[in-house]
Structure 1
Amino acid sequence: MSGEIPEISGDVIAISDPGERDRQSHLKGDRIVIAFGNLVAWAFPILMLAIVSQVILRKAGFNQAWLDDAQWWIYGFAMVTGFAYAITTNSHVRVDIFHANYSPARKARIECFGLGWLLLPFLIMMTDVLFHYAWSSVLAREGSDSPNGLHGLYILKASLPLLFGLAILATVSILMRHLVQLAPVRLWTLLVAMLPGAIFAAERTIYYVLWWGVRLTNAGIKPKRISKEPIFEWTTWMGAAVVLTLILLGWLMARRKGAEE
């Protein structure tokens, strides 16, 4: 026995740590998601300790409602964070009986469609919905149903749109990694790859800009009446026009640059 510690290869690390797999291809957004996920992963030992403590205390006749709440808080926060982490590391459950045998280019096209046209619109929609959900909870200072529970439930709910924003970052980053196998990653090619999500994001942005514009310029109008103004019937078309204009301009600029070269 020489007493020397054998060197651990990068392949072994990649197997044991999904965040290190294909690290050389990771973008900055990927590393942010992985770093945050690794940090939040330490919540699971705390969750285990909370569960064991509550079981022991309950058996001893000293039930602690705040420990029950803490378990749900920790589990909820960690699992939603894990959603973004799984997107980045491709460690979510998937059935790829056919996908595994496809060529890299075909895989990239399928991934771009699934991520940009299916997943991303859902994440943007959920972020928008959860923002209102969280804001209502914050205004009400929502707490636990139990008098002895944790009474800052609104803090947990306020984190939900932020964590879904993290999932959006994860989706866009991995989408760019797949897109580079098909075409140069430019703003217009990225917008095409995530067209439904881009249009929805543009529509929501225009909607809120108009909403606050009407709110600030018409002091007497009730908030519930603002969205019924005629201009809000056109926000979807406005969002589509903005995105399609950016795509067209980007394509024309790329074509002109290619002709000059």
Structure 2
Amino acid sequence: MSEQQESVVALYDPGEIGREEHNRADRFVIGVGNIVAWLFPILVVAICAQVVLRSAGHNQAWLDDLQWWLYGIAVLTGVAYAVTTNSHVRVDILFDNYSPERKARIDIFGLVWLFLPFVILCWDMTLHYAISSVSAWERSDSPNGLHNLWILKILMNLCFILMGVAAWAAYVRLLRRLTRPARWRRLLYAFPSTMYLVNLAVYYALWWGTRLSLPVEVDDREVTKQPIFGTWDVGSQEIPFTILISLALTLLLIGVFWLRDRASGE
């Protein structure tokens, strides 16, 4: 596809640009994005209807809630779509003049050293929001608003999973332009994201293991006061044991995949 053709295609379907490089995860994100994009016409109708009804003295709180629901889900999904299609806004004057290899390196750094750790953090935070919302059976503040607010909280959490899938798929695709994306390379070159995920898995595994080993009457806040959640003092620094365990497991995981990939000739 020529540069002129890409410019035309980008106006009506960015998901078709670079399709030959896309993997299954890329196509999944694009498919979800294309479906969710239909929420925007519904959002426009909801906004216009609320403006007319409010002007006529018939304010509908559920329409206000609906706007937030639609806008939130559509925008969060749009972030994942933009990452996959590289259709986000770049505020720089240097990137366009770089070589394809340098562009790939910059994008890889941005994706798995900056963006993906942030996405994982947001996923972890919204997971707690979703669980709390479901536990409290959270409802709208308005009597005639949209209730079952926990549905929105769950969808927000799922959107961050979609962003993570989009970021990782784009990272693997970019890595393929530079080298063979063996599994150990994927994990090593994305070390901050890899270790962050391992750390979350370690923390939750230890938390639940400790929680289940304690008497039922013990408060949940006492779990993190157990020795396994202590710290190792290095000079003036305190390094949590969970971080040290996660670091060791991350390096072990990369080493195992290095041996397996080496044995398979990758």
CA-based RMSD = 1.9
Counterpart CA distance in 1 for 2:122 and 2:224 is 19
Alignment-mate amino acid for residue 226 of structure 1? V
Task: Tell me how far 1:212 sits from its aligned partner.
Answer: 1.2
> Which residue is equivalent to 1:104?
100
Q: Is the 8 A contact 1:120 1:194 kept in 2?
A: no
Q: Which runs of 4+ in 1 moved over 3 A?
A: 9-15, 249-258
Amino acid at match of 2:220: P
Does structure 1 residue 175 correspond to structure 2 residue 153? no
Structure 2: give runs of 5+ residues left out of the alignment: 230-239
Q: Distance in 1 between matches of 2:98 and 2:72?
A: 36
Q: 100, 103, 126: which one pairs with 2:122?
A: 126
Partner of 2:233: none
Which residue matches 1:19? 15
Identity of aligned residues (%): 51
Would you say the 8 A contact 2:184–2:261 is kept in 1?
no
In structure 1, how many angstroms separate the alpha carbons of the residues matched to 2:250 and 2:180? Answer: 19
What is the distance in 2 between the residues matched to 1:14 and 1:75?
Answer: 23
What is the Cα deviation at residue 56 of structure 1? 1.1
CA change 1:10–1:103 in 2 (3 A) is closer
> Are the aligned partners of 1:179 and 1:193 in contact in 2 as well (CA < 8 Å)?
no
1:227 lines up with 2:234 in the alignment: no
90-99 vs 61-70, which moves further: 90-99
Which residue matches 1:45?
41
1:75 and 2:71 equivalent? Answer: yes
Q: Contact 1:179/1:185 (CA < 8 Å) preserved in 2?
A: yes
Q: Does the 8 Å contact 2:113/2:190 carry over to 1?
A: yes
CA deviation string 1:223-258 (max 9, x = no partner): 111122221231111111111122233334555666
The number of aligned residues is 251
- Match of 2:149? 153
Give the conservation status (yes or no) of the 8 Å contact 1:19–1:34. yes
Distance in structure 2 (CA, Å) of the matches to 1:42 and 1:249: 44
Aligned-residue offset at 1:60: 1.4
- Contact persistence 2:183–2:261 (CA under 8 A): no
User: How far apart are 1:219 and its partner, in Å?
Assistant: 2.7
Q: Deviation of residue 172 (structure 1)?
A: 0.1
> 1:136 & 1:257 partners in 2: Cα distance?
46
Query: Which among 36, 51, 57 is matched to residue 55 of structure 1?
Result: 51
Q: CA deviation at 1:10?
A: 7.0
Gaps of 5+ in 1: 1-8
Q: Distance in 2 between matches of 1:74 and 1:257?
A: 47
Corresponding position of 2:109: 113
Could you state the TM-score of these two structures normalised by the residue count of structure 2? 0.89
**Cα offset, 1:209, TM superposition:** 1.0
